[in-house]
Structure 1
Amino acid sequence: MPIPTLAEWLEEWSASRRHHLEASSVASYRIMADAYLLPHLGDVPLDALDVRRIEATYATLLTRGGRGGRPLAPRTVAYAHAVLHRALVDAVRLGVLATNPAAAVTLPRHAVDGRPPRRLRVWDARQVGQFLVASADHPLADLWAVALGTGLRRGELLGLRRRDVDVEAARLTVAVAVAEVDGAVQLKRPKTGRTRTVSLDDHTLGHLDERLRSSASAGADAPVFADATGGHLRPRRISDIWRAYVRTLPLPPIRLHDLRHTHATLLLAAGVPVKVVSERLGHTKIAMTLDVYAHVLPAMDRDAADRFGQLLSGD
């Protein structure tokens, strides 16, 4: 049997993955492959893939693999590599390949010009306050406020059901998420596959309570943030609305997902333990939190040293 090209194998592999993974995960794999792997490696037979060719592809992506030929972030290259590695693991398992060349690849940690990866784009506490005042009359003001107050992912926000919010206990449960696959909205488990509980501050709780009161006649499984028909909002549409709106504000433009980063960064800067922040975000490992928010840690270390000095001096 002839050895398939990478394009042929990824087509077969992604079709088989539909029986094991969420549809949104398979769709995400296909998007990554189509955008970053296939243009460079799609015509290469699997047995002709080697470490040098794969690493050269990643170097090209770092240089000009983004939109309009702009550099691609190392984290995105790592995601593309994860897709390739997983697909080739299964190729070995099924006897299509003898070994997995992606297993020996060294991932780039920095852009090819030597600059470190870009820091997260977040707002500080003053900018958050400005935003909450400026956006108070926006139709999605409650959604933005809850995103800032909880650090939930976009799909988790849109999947939030009325019964997931406990106003009396001031907490919510992240149990389902919304994904958009082939233009259709689907419900799935949260990204990590497990539920989590997030405590709410008074401001965030007020926004949720107001939202629940405005749709008091809806059922327990109705989305908290619903469209005009009472159904789930579309994730891509919400991101489009955010991008257009944030450009009108006298604030540095950030992505909708950066509200999650803002939430975490402000908590860490305020001295909240990394373990607590990690659990609020739903990270599976604390190492992930430490990696993503490493830029906050030096300031926390400085603050810890200053506090210890105050203890010794009796201040």
Structure 2
Amino acid sequence: MRLGEGSEEDAEAVSAMLDALGKDEQIPDYEETARKLRSGQNLVENLTIGHWLDLWQDQESHRKATELSYESHVRLYLKPKIGDVRVDRLTVSHISEMFAKINDDNDRIVANNDDRRALLARIKNTRSRADKRILRVKLDELPPFRRPVGPSSQARIHATLRAAMNDAIAEQKTTFNAAMHYSVSAKPPKPLIWTPERVEEWQRTGKRPGPVMVWTPEQAGAFLDHVAVHDPEFEALWHLAVKRGPRRGELAGLPWTEYSALDATVTISTQLTEVDWEIVEGDPKSEAGERVIPLDDETDLHLRTHKVRQARRRLELGSAWGDSGRVFTMEDGSALRPSSISDRFERLYKAAGLPPIRLHDLRHTAATLMLAADIDMKVIQETLGHSQIQTTSNIYASVLPKVARDAAEKTVALIPRAPARAPTGTLGHPSGTRKIHIANAEVREMTRT
């Protein structure tokens, strides 16, 4: 379609567009204008990203937690960094520049956090009250501690923009979604195992090797032994978290109706989240989050015992019992606040003398234990409720050192080797492999001494 060959309405729209142009504005691209005419868009409306995001939030209906996430993404990142760009002129370059600015801000945040830590250390080690006062003034002049915008948060910011631009296309505000053609390059950190060497370094320096840490089977066992003595009321929850890896909100939201004593399973069909300190019930994180989790005999026994204990507690309290119907509750039967599980977990592992991990990292621990037990990756994906198997395999490519070492030995065993000739003056060994084992034993002995 040539612009001069359209209807009178099209000609009037083009004329109005040209009249509305400012002195320094260029005449819009021919093809772009033709596309707008075909899709019925307003040629005069100069809708910015910031204005559209305000309209979009007002008309969108999401779960409360999602709305809060969208609001923070829009307020903190999207509007300040690309809010002045017109919706129909947003490009991949704009989005790339936005994330470059976010990463520049991250560098400043990290530097400021380091400065604050250094000042706090100096205040702690300074004996002079006058010097302490001077240092505290300097501390007050620095911005407060902030968390950098990590890979996962950047991916969610990108997802918010992508959703908003998809709806802009649906409402004929634009014909192109630049966010669909941009990928967040930052990768989430890989889980690291708490090996003896890393534990020793952490004990010496107090620094964690990485943001996502995973317990070994021995450390997981020590934790379960500890809670058996010090937190028997929630022992079932900890066995479920360590071995099967449900999310925090899924543990808090699990109703008794979704536990089958006959099949020894729990069905994840809901979760609890906290929004502005209010407990909100909603669907699992994704469609894949709705799943059936089979239980081992020990965990199933703990759940049966927990049910009996809870029934006795209900009888004791009578009308004071707040019947939430949940498996794990407050002492009066009311719904368990998800953040309280994290707080409880931190107190327990510290008391047990174990290296630090987040409550969410128990999902990684559960996955790693399943890998060590040679469980198929597809089964691990379904147990954890990941939408795609690539997510599972990418996260858990780092496995327990023993598993990786066994895999290396099995690989070497496939390589045919000629019998090794015994060196003069030594006992004859039937194979090179035997000599390697002897050499390794000698190295280990030297290391110990």
Q: Shorter-chain TM-score: which interval?
A: 0.7 to 0.9
Supply the distance in 2 between the matched residues of 1:176 and 1:164 (Cα, whole angstroms).
Answer: 10
SS in 2 for 1:185: strand
Unaligned runs of 5+ in 2: 1-43, 111-144, 192-211, 315-321, 417-449
Which is richer in helix?
2
SS in 1 for 2:280: strand
SS in 1 for 2:398: helix
Q: Does the 8 A contact of 2:81 with 2:98 survive in 1?
A: yes
2:398 matched to 1:295? yes
Q: Does the 8 A contact of 1:265 with 1:293 survive in 2?
A: yes
Partner of 1:17: 60
User: Which residues in structure 2 correspond to 1:247-266 (within 5 Å)?
Assistant: 247-266=350-369
SS in 2 for 1:294: coil
2:230 matched to 1:187? no
Partner of 1:209: 304
Letter in 2 for 1:28: S
Larger Cα-atom Rg: 2
Moved more, 63-72 or 198-207: 63-72
Partner of 1:96: 173
**Out of 55, 61, 69, which is 2:96 matched to?**
55
Q: Does the 8 A contact of 1:6 with 1:44 survive in 2?
A: yes
Q: Does the 8 A contact of 2:243 with 2:369 survive in 1?
A: no
Q: Does the 8 A contact of 2:254 with 2:270 survive in 1?
A: yes
Unaligned runs of 5+ in 1: 111-115
Q: CA deviation at 1:80?
A: 1.5
Partner of 1:82: 159
**Out of 213, 222, 227, which is 1:121 matched to?**
213
Question: Number of residues paired by the alignment?
Answer: 306
Q: CA deviation at 1:264?
A: 0.7
User: Which residues in structure 2 correspond to 1:165-244 (within 5 Å)?
Assistant: 165-193=259-287, 195-216=290-311, 222-243=325-346
Deviation per CA, 1:60-93: give whole Å up to 9, x if none: 3335447845643323312211111111111122
SS in 2 for 1:178: strand
**Out of 272, 275, 280, which is 2:378 matched to?**
275
SS in 2 for 1:295: coil
Please give the TM-score of this superposition, normalised by the length of structure 2.
Answer: 0.60
Letter in 2 for 1:104: H
SS in 1 for 2:392: helix
Q: Does the 8 A contact of 2:92 with 2:182 survive in 1?
A: yes
Percent identity between matched residues is 36
Partner of 1:113: none
Supply the distance in 1 between the matched residues of 2:350 and 2:74 (Cα, whole angstroms).
Answer: 31
Moved more, 128-137 or 32-41: 32-41
Please give the TM-score of this superposition, normalised by the length of structure 1.
Answer: 0.82
User: Which residues in structure 2 correspond to 1:117-156 (within 5 Å)?
Assistant: 117-119=189-191, 120-136=212-228, 137-138=230-231, 140-156=234-250
CA separation of 1:269 and 1:39: change in aligned 2, threshold 3 A: farther
Supply the distance in 1 between the matched residues of 2:346 and 2:77 (Cα, whole angstroms).
Answer: 24
SS in 2 for 1:87: helix
Q: Does the 8 A contact of 1:55 with 1:106 survive in 2?
A: no
Moved more, 268-277 or 23-32: 23-32
Q: Does the 8 A contact of 1:13 with 1:87 survive in 2?
A: yes
The alignment yields a C-alpha RMSD, in angstroms, of: 3.2
Deviation per CA, 1:111-155: give whole Å up to 9, x if none: xxxxx8453311111111121223331354432332112211111
